[in-house]
Amino acid sequence: MPRLVAKIEAILYLKAQPLPIAKIAEYAGCDREAAEAGLIELMAAYAHRDSALEVVQTSEGYCLQLRESFHDLVQALIPVDLGVGALRTLAAIALKGSIAQTALVELRGSGAYQHVQELVSLGFVRKRRQSDGRSYWLQVTDKFYQYFQVDKLPHPFDPSA
């Protein structure tokens, strides 16, 4: 069985979002005090190693993140031709697997129409008319999975199947 510190590290890595102590303890199968001690040990280990990652406490909880000194790589590796809004729209489509364009607009606002047009032209999103003809189904394409090196999300639901 892995040590608690390694288990907490795996939890933070897999969740990829800030987690409160209570959730970390729940996922690790330990009490809050043990989770706190494990986090302190993990934070100290990252502080003393020459690593691109660090464990930090945010207002939402603890997370494993890239150190500030490596943020220039984010700019180099994430497509600069996509604005933050288009990236968020793409993320919403990817997380939903398949979403009606009308539902996406409700979620993201009217700017989503322009984002979808841009994402379709770049080949990251596929757009298919719904059977009732009122809207479109939106799905990420294989190019999305390859470009962003994502293989953990479930492949999109095919409403025509």
Structure confidence by residue, pLDDT tens digits, 16-65: 788 999 999 999 999 999 999 999 999 999 999 888 899 988 888 998 88
How far is 86 from 116, CA to CA, in rounded Å? 8
Average pLDDT rounded to a whole number, residues 139-151: 79
CATH number of 78-147: 1.10.10.10
CATH topology of domain 4-71: Arc Repressor Mutant, subunit A (1.10.10)
88 neighbors 111 (Cβ within 8 angstroms):
no
CA nearest 139: which of 102, 96, 108? 96
**DSSP per-residue letters across 133-145:** SSSEEEEE-HHHH
pLDDT of residue 70: 80
Domain ranges of the chain: 4-71, 78-147
Name 31's Cβ contacts closer than 8 Å, sequence gap at least 6: 25
pLDDT of residue 16: 79
